[in-house]
Amino acid sequence: MEFDDLKINLSAFINSDQIISNLIFILRNNESIYGRQAIIDQQTQEELTVTFRNYLLENILYNEAFSLLPLSKADERKSVLYRYDIDDLPKELKEIKELYQDNSTQVFNHSEDNLSKLKGIGLQISSSSNKLLLYKQHYPVQFMKNTKNFSIKRLRNESRFEKLQEDIIKINTSLDFFFFNDECFIQNLNVVEKYFGVHEAIINTAISGISKIKETELLEDTKPLEDRISDISFARKLIRAERNSPVLGAISNTDIIEFTKQHLFFKDVFEYTSDNKKIILNTKTSSDKFLLMLNDDYLRSELTQKRYSIRAKDEIT
């Protein structure tokens, strides 16, 4: 899906007057994630929906600095919305997706459900033909439980305070990710990597990337790549090489090796087997530059003739 298509479809959906919304408490027990619909008054529900909708429109869809990238092509740019395209969908993201697809979420029951198990806040927006689930991670500091400690609150439009009698949940109306058109779109990659097991999914996919590199017989040994697989940034670059490399499988090993010997950026970085048929990686720098080479992440300015390594690029057509 192109970003313009997402903007058009999602904007039309959330600006429709034919949608309904529900606040979902996303709870976690020892084994799984489950959702409970929070019953709130209509005015609060409408205000919450408008606030989330405006955040989505202003900070992502109408933000000219934003771009849409497949997660497998993740690079170092900051203003990006990632479309989850990795085959391995972690268990907890699967459970959130099931909540997105569910049309009959149970109502939160104070006698059976426990707010101390709150993992995230979801806003489910539905129409007769489509649905959207917005997710924001919840942190313990955002939950104030009424305990024996003495807490007070200010009365609106008055200069006095009274004792707090109820639990309070603070809702952050920014977004970490959302499901739409049966796909997952990620704004805060750090959250899904840390709390949803995406880190492990990326590493597992990167391992298959190493297998693909091994099959080309371009390297004398892939162990230097395997030793750095837990480095999430390095693992992402391996995924890009496995899925999107313009070099791997497109250019012969002989031409690649000759190129690395002649190009100033790679010259004297690699060592080679005695028959000059394979590259030897024996330093961290050589591993880094090997992936730069596979991902074509360097350029020479046609204007100044200077050479650069680059952290992000979009192909000009």
Bin 182: left if φ > 0, else alpha if -120 < ψ < 50, else beta: left
pLDDT value at residue 150: 62
- Flag whether pLDDT at 191 surpasses 70: yes
Token digits for 164? 């707090």
- In angstroms, the CA 33 to CA 299 distance is 46
- Flag whether pLDDT at 164 surpasses 70: no
- Flag whether pLDDT at 190 surpasses 70: yes
pLDDT value at residue 316: 44
Mean pLDDT of 218-235: 91
Burial of 281-309, coded b for 16+ CB within 10 Å and e otherwise, reads beeeebbbbbbbbbbbbbeeeeeeeeeee
The residues near 203 (Cβ < 8 Å, ≥ 6 apart) are 229, 230, 232, 235
Give 68-123 pLDDT, tens digit per residue: 988 887 777 778 899 998 888 999 999 999 999 987 889 999 888 888 888 999 99
What backbone torsions phi and psi does residue 198 show, to the nearest 5 degrees? -70, -30
Q: 51-55, 134-138, 297-301: lowest mean pLDDT where?
A: 297-301
Of 176, 124, 107, which Cα lies nearest the Cα of 14? 124
- In angstroms, the CA 288 to CA 202 distance is 18
Domain edges within the chain = 3-196, 217-309
- In angstroms, the CA 127 to CA 63 distance is 25
What's the full length of the chain, in residues?
A: 317
The residues near 217 (Cβ < 8 Å, ≥ 6 apart) are 253, 277, 278
Q: Cα–chain-centroid distance for residue 43?
A: 32
Residue 30's pLDDT band (cuts 50, 70, 90):
confident
Contact status, residue 184 vs residue 84, Cβ threshold 8 Å = yes
What one-letter code names the amino acid at 44? T
Give 277-309 pLDDT, tens digit per residue: 999 999 999 998 888 888 776 555 444 455 545
* Helix segments in 124-197, DSSP class H: 189-195
pLDDT value at residue 151: 62
Of 171, 185, 156, 55, which Cα lies nearest the Cα of 122? 171
Is residue 68 classed as helix, strand or coil in its secondary structure?
strand
- Cα angle, residue 68 at apex, residues 67 and 70 outer, rounded to 5°: 140
pLDDT value at residue 304: 45
- In angstroms, the CA 24 to CA 29 distance is 16
- Angle between the 232-244 and 284-294 helix axes, to the nearest 10 degrees? 30
